[in-house]
Amino acid sequence: GPADAAVRWPVLFLLAGSILWLLAGSVLAVIAAIKLHTPGFLADCEFLTFGRVYPAALNAFVYGWGVNAGLAVALWLMARLARATLPGGGLLIVAGAFWNLGVKLGVLGILAGWSTSVPWLEMPHQIVPLLLVAYALAAAWVVGALRHGSSPRLYASQWWLLVALFSLPWLWATAEAMLFFGPVRGTVQVLVGAWFVHGFLLLWFVPLALAVIYYLLPKLLGRPIRAYHLTPFGFWAYVVCAGWAGAARLTGAPVPAWTQAVGTVASLLLLVPLGVIAVNVFGTLLDGGLAVLARSNALRFVGLAALFLVLALLRFAGMLVLRDGAELSWFATASDYAVLYGGFSFAVFGAAYYLLPRLVRRAWPFASLIHMHFLCSVLGFVIGVVALSLGGLRQAADLGGGVKFDEVTAHLLPYLQLATVGGILLLVGHLAFAFHFVKLVFCPCVRARAAAAPVPAELLRTAPDLEAAS
């Protein structure tokens, strides 16, 4: 439609950038994963030591892949749902270019030894103002699309988009200010960090995944969201509780007990909106009949994103209830990965398989590459998260049980090796995805094929009313 045409180039630009970061991030992550069990691997380069490669991978993934892809999807969804044809897409490309420049400087800065070592805020803080300005330009454009759109309705997807777009700069600027520009004292810093990381997960990655899920599920299944009347309640309950839940990451740490209690209560309260989301999403999926999953590539990714997202969020609450000492093990870290990859990335992959053919007006050339990407992602993700989770539980039990430390390390090795296998599978899947993206967007040889196999007409319906039709 015209909305797609208006955002074609900015969305393609942001997605291309995000895919490059996805590749860079997965290569760095595989290096880091190997180093965890084979410390001799690339050992003598200071810039590739574990303590630098690991945060570099994380930042490439979060800021490079996560924010680029999130903005691309937000832009496309907002323009579509608001039926906007706002000019000025060139500005978005400029904003995207500055964003990517900033992330590049940040990741290289980490590798070169300017890492702050504060989780998720490792990039040298001098770069952050540049990144915030670039982000603000892009996000303002997305909100502008809403303002100038012709649609009178505001759909659930758009609520989630608005929350994500607004929360990230708020969280980020505040955390930077309280940690680097005017640092607070002592372990208050750790609370700021936990509030930021958890907020980033719950108020950027999760809402974007939900925006995709709430749009694409009804669209692809051809039926409305189940129990849509509950959605506003779920949304507000989620938004109100999410900001407080971060303190639960510090269970048992030297921070005041009341902050830990508040975090725990908020995390448990989040189960209520999570229940609403589960009813909405799984109800719609089951109504639509799971047989459809076999037909649509996008739907398979989005359906799994919904499943993984709900399971990942359940883990946060589960860890607090069990209180098994897993806070300082790989189990806790695996929960973050489950949201980042299983929830957010799967949703973005689904959205990409849906939106890219519509943006460039031709079909994906190779079905086999999509299957390969799907298979590698599912296997890699499940193997990686299960290995880190089981390994983490073992680690927590060993640490709490007073097992000698060298044995703790030895017990963990097979799990870490398995996690590397998962990481390599993910990398292979990403390579297939990236290659396919290049083939689809840039390769002229594909055009002839596409003419022979046009996009099925029923997938080109423009009205998004299905989402709210109940």
Q: Half-sphere exposure of residue 206, counting CA atoms within 13 Å on the CB side?
A: 29
Give the N- to C-terminal CA distance of the chain in Å, as an integer: 24
Task: Decide: is 166 part of the binding site for other proteins (CB under 8 A).
Answer: yes
**By the rule CB under 8 A, 368 interacts with other proteins:** no
400 binds other proteins, rule: CB under 8 A: yes
Q: Is there binding between residue 387 and other proteins (CB under 8 A)?
A: no
- Using CB under 8 A, which of 325, 343, 357, 384 touches other proteins? 325
Please provide residue 294's backbone torsions phi and psi, each rounded to the nearest 5 degrees. -70, -25
Minimum CB separation from other proteins for residue 172, in Å? 12
Q: Site mask, other proteins, residues 60-99, x = CB under 8 A?
A: ----------------------------------------
Nearer to other proteins by Cβ, of 85 and 333: the residue is 333
**Which of residues 359 and 416 has its CB atom nearest to other proteins in the complex?**
416
Give CB contacts under 8 A, 24+ apart, made by 124-128.
Answer: 125/176, 125/179, 125/180, 125/181, 127/102, 128/172, 128/176
Rg over alpha carbons for the chain, rounded to the nearest Å, is 22
Q: How far apart are CA 468 and CA 72, in angstroms?
A: 23
> What is the DSSP code (8-state) at residue 225?
P
In the complex with other proteins, which residue's Cβ is closer, 117 or 462? 117
Complex with other proteins: residue 236 or 442, whichever CB lies closer: 236
Residue list 261-300, contact with other proteins (CB under 8 A): 262-263
Q: Are 34 and 420 in contact (CB under 8 A)?
A: yes
Phi-psi region of 182 (alpha: psi -120 to 50; beta: other; left: phi over 0): beta
The residue among 259 and 377 lying less far from other proteins, judged by its C-beta, is 259
Q: Which of 147, 294, 452, 456 binds other proteins (CB under 8 A)?
A: 147
Residue 203: name the closest of 248, 241, 250 by CA: 241
Cα three-residue angle 344-346-347, rounded to 5 degrees = 65
247 forms part of the interface with other proteins (CB under 8 A) = yes
- Quick one: which of 26, 68, 158, 297 contacts other proteins (CB under 8 A)? 158
Residues of this chain, 182-241, that bind other proteins according to CB under 8 A? 183-192, 195, 199, 203, 236, 239-240
Number of residues that bind other proteins (CB under 8 A): 90
Calculate helix-pair angle for 2-37, 89-109, nearest 10 degrees: 10
Q: Rule CB under 8 A: is residue 258 a binding residue for other proteins?
A: yes
Residue of 147, 292, 271 whose CA lies nearest to 223: 292
Work out whether 422 is an interface residue with other proteins (CB under 8 A).
no
Shortest approach of other proteins to residue 360 CB, angstroms? Answer: 30
159 is an interface residue for other proteins by CB under 8 A: yes
Q: Which of 330, 344, 349, 415 binds other proteins (CB under 8 A)?
A: 330
Q: Interface with other proteins includes 40 (CB under 8 A)?
A: yes
- What's the 3-state SS for 87-99? CCHHHHHHHHHHH
Contact stretch for other proteins (CB under 8 A) within 260-268, 298-306, 351-359, 451-459? 260-268
Residue 55 sits in the site that holds other proteins (CB under 8 A):
yes
